[in-house]
Amino acid sequence: MNKELGNIQLNWKSKKSIPIFLLLLYYIFIVCTYLNQDGHKDIEKPSFLIITVLWVTVSLISMLEISQVRRFIKKHGKWIDGLLLLLTPIASFLMVEIMVSNFNMDMYKGYTFYNLIWYFIIYYLIHAVIRNCKLTIIIGNFLIYMAGLINYLVYLFRGNPILPSDLLAWQTGVSVASNYELSFSKGFLIATLIMLVVFVVGNKLENKDKKLSFTNRMIGLGAYVLFAAMVFNVFFHSDLIETKIKVLDFFAPKYTYSCYGTAFGFVANVEAMDTDLPDGYSVDQVEEAYKEESEKEAKDIVTSTDNKPNIIAIMNEAFSDLSMMGEYNTNMDYLPNIRALTKNTTKGALYVSVFGGATSDTEYEFLTGNSMAVMPQNCVPYQQFVTEPTDSLASTLKAQGYYNIAIHPYEPSGYKRDLVYPLLGFDEFLSMQDFNNPQRIRTFISDRESYKKVIEEYENKGKDQPLFIFNVTMQNHGGYSGETIFEEKDTVRLTDLKGYTKVEQYLSLLRESDKAFQSLIDYFAKQEEHTVILLFGDHQPVAYSEFHDALAKQGKVSEMEGYQRKYRVPFILWANYDISASDVDKISANYLSSYLLKSAGLKGTTYNHYLMDLYEEIPVINGLFYIDKNNQGHKFSEATAYSDLITQYRYIGYNNALDKKDRLKEFYRLKNE
């Protein structure tokens, strides 16, 4: 029914009003969810009422037919279309940022252009194809709103925005998202209102049916292609991104997006995923390198396939023995229990690729056998490249009947572990949400609580079910204040070097880790089932930064030796049964899982065989340097007798980690898998 008021009609029964009613139902759903979620009851009522009134007002306006307005639009259609094609990308940019409550004015002042250009790219692509302004605005507005909605949901479920690599692992993301509860913010309500306004404005335009010639369409499309090519060239083939984005935060991408904008942050992450073929790389060369390994007997790694001990690998946050860096004295030993372990115990120096942070890099090296030396510089593999099922220590053990559990007593979304662990072959992932009222030291769940969870999972497993647990602890994470957090009798003090209170706090934390580890050893020493426990650090703590320089000068070591010491942490491998044990002078994280398989008497892949052979020649390869069997350290830029082996490893590592198309899967999986 049309209600006429002079030259004004309210066409609420028109077919054109159906989308408005659907959007109204959508808004009612959002409102109901918003009002029923925790934290929003009886809060921000004025803002909520204003948004609701505006929504209803805009909806009513969309149904109004005003003859004067209609005539004006027809008369000035070209100018109006052009103006709206300029304004709607701006509205979409604001919609996406407001949806995730990004009100960082520095971003708007400094980086609006670098974001807006991508919204223009989207709208103008649609317009170049369909050449209809009305449909361009409606379709572009809908697509960008949906992209913003997906980004909002990823923020909601994982605490970080969507990354390009998330699109490649979307199935895992969907399965993870099902564990979270939907909620909406005020920013989301405002952004949805912006979407409605853009839709209504676009819907008011004339839907021109004028047919354009083929030549006209080709000219328009060609102009767009030139424009897009210029934009892509500037962003992806110049130093623009490096110049404008000072820090690309892979651990917490939300900070990058907040500082530089969602679109620009996303594009920067796309550029960071770009990988170049190593010079001279070919799949044939990788096959040739593996040929010799494939012909070898499994005895190189496997000593017994009947015994399948439980495997517990603990990557202890910032675990590092400062005595490996230089001489100094303390009022007490901070690792007395670990130092006392001798029976069925292997100890050694582990070289990693990072200092003070970037935990997941060491994780990746350990689990996959791929050194950061074979990865693009400054990348974070978990964030960028683990986007599909990936062969790892977990998948190798799974093929031998193991049940795999990852434990990390912190946020599950850190370094995308909630998405990455299933892709690496873990059956379960337990995060901080799975700990009930745990003991905390500072703000982090303690190592003792983390090990209690390990024991709990062991006790809940089936009798004949071999278990692999990978435990990444949090107790000793950075953020050292220098304050005394334990009683004085339990506080480690430096007796000959003063002023390093943060180091003292860290060493005191390390002493608590030592106690917790001993309790874990004591428990499994009493168990009948064979169990192997590996403990290693992910990197040295940032608290060592200044202290490291002081010890290096005191020890008068060479520049190369002083540099290498920053990337050296301890590892301890212990078993509750008789195993071959001998100390290891040095080994890097990419070899450690192969070494673990060999020590436990378990099968390894052809890649594991290759790594153990390479270890004999070059026992250390990290992302910064390598050390040969004669204990000589080298930069990768040097020409040495080992350069060919390094090049071969780069080829093999590229094939395993980055060559998604021609990856030689058979070499990274067990023959019977």
Do both 101 and 142 map to the same domain?
A: yes
Question: 364 phi and psi, to 5 degrees?
Answer: -60, -45
Q: Where in 242-363 does DSSP place strands (E)?
A: 310-316, 345-351
% helix, strand, coil for the chain, step of 5: 55, 10, 35
Do both 301 and 245 map to the same domain?
A: no
Do both 254 and 303 map to the same domain?
A: no
Is 481 in contact with 323 (CB distance < 8 Å)? no
Mean pLDDT of the chain: 85
Whether the pLDDT of residue 25 is over 80: the answer is yes
Q: Which residues contact 510 (CB under 8 A, 6 or more apart)?
A: 319, 320, 334, 335, 476, 492
Write down the number of H helices and E strands in the chain: 26, 16
Between residues 340 and 207, the one the model is more confident about: 340
Q: Percentage of the chain surpassing pLDDT 70? A: 85
Q: Percentage of the chain surpassing pLDDT 90? A: 42
- The verdict on residue 369 lying in a domain is yes
Do both 257 and 396 map to the same domain?
A: no
Whether the pLDDT of residue 401 is over 90: the answer is yes
Whether the pLDDT of residue 3 is over 50: the answer is no
pLDDT attached to residue 205: 78
| Spatial distance between the Cα atoms of 618 and 588, rounded to a whole number of angstroms | 10
DSSP reduced 3-state for 343: coil
pLDDT attached to residue 299: 46
Between residues 446 and 202, the one the model is more confident about: 446
| pLDDT-wise least confident of 13-17, 141-145, 580-584 | 13-17
- The verdict on residue 51 lying in a domain is no
Examine the fold and report which residue of 272, 298, 315 is the final residue of a domain before the chain moves on: 272
Residue whose structure tokens are 């071969």: 648
Do both 253 and 329 map to the same domain?
A: no
- Across 90-96, average pLDDT: 95
CA 221 to chain centre: 38
- The verdict on residue 54 lying in a domain is no
pLDDT attached to residue 81: 81
When divided into structural domains, the chain yields a total of: 2
Do both 486 and 577 map to the same domain?
A: yes
Q: Which residues contact 273 (CB under 8 A, 6 or more apart)?
A: 164, 165, 384, 385
Do both 301 and 268 map to the same domain?
A: no
Examine the fold and report which residue of 223, 240, 272 is the final residue of a domain before the chain moves on: 272
Do both 383 and 527 map to the same domain?
A: yes
- The verdict on residue 418 lying in a domain is yes
Examine the fold and report which residue of 214, 243, 272 is the final residue of a domain before the chain moves on: 272
pLDDT attached to residue 384: 82
- The verdict on residue 13 lying in a domain is no
Whether the pLDDT of residue 209 is over 60: the answer is no
Q: Which amino acid is at 415?
A: Y
- The verdict on residue 68 lying in a domain is no
Domain range for 613 is: 283-667
Nearest to 19 by CA among 195, 191, 172, 164: 195
| Spatial distance between the Cα atoms of 380 and 272, rounded to a whole number of angstroms | 9
Most confident of 187-201, 208-222, 325-339, 524-538: 524-538
- The verdict on residue 59 lying in a domain is no
Do both 267 and 288 map to the same domain?
A: no
- The verdict on residue 5 lying in a domain is no
* String of DSSP letters for 290-307: HHHHHHS-GGGT-S-SS-
Do both 220 and 310 map to the same domain?
A: no
pLDDT one-digit tens code per residue, 486-545: 888 888 898 887 878 888 888 999 999 999 999 999 999 999 999 999 999 998 887 776
Residue whose structure tokens are 């434990």: 407
Q: Look up the pTM and report it.
A: 0.74
Do both 227 and 155 map to the same domain?
A: yes
Whether the pLDDT of residue 43 is over 60: the answer is no
pLDDT attached to residue 4: 45
DSSP reduced 3-state for 344: coil
CATH number at residue 441: 3.40.720.10
- Across 205-221, average pLDDT: 75
Is 536 in contact with 468 (CB distance < 8 Å)? no
The dihedral region occupied by 457, where left means phi > 0, alpha psi between -120 and 50, and beta the remainder, is alpha
Whether the pLDDT of residue 322 is over 90: the answer is no
pLDDT one-digit tens code per residue, 409-461: 998 888 889 889 999 999 999 999 999 999 999 889 999 999 999 999 999 99
Do both 208 and 349 map to the same domain?
A: no
pLDDT attached to residue 347: 94
- Across 64-69, average pLDDT: 68
pLDDT attached to residue 555: 58
- Across 18-33, average pLDDT: 82
pLDDT one-digit tens code per residue, 343-392: 999 999 999 998 877 788 999 999 999 999 988 877 888 888 898 899 99
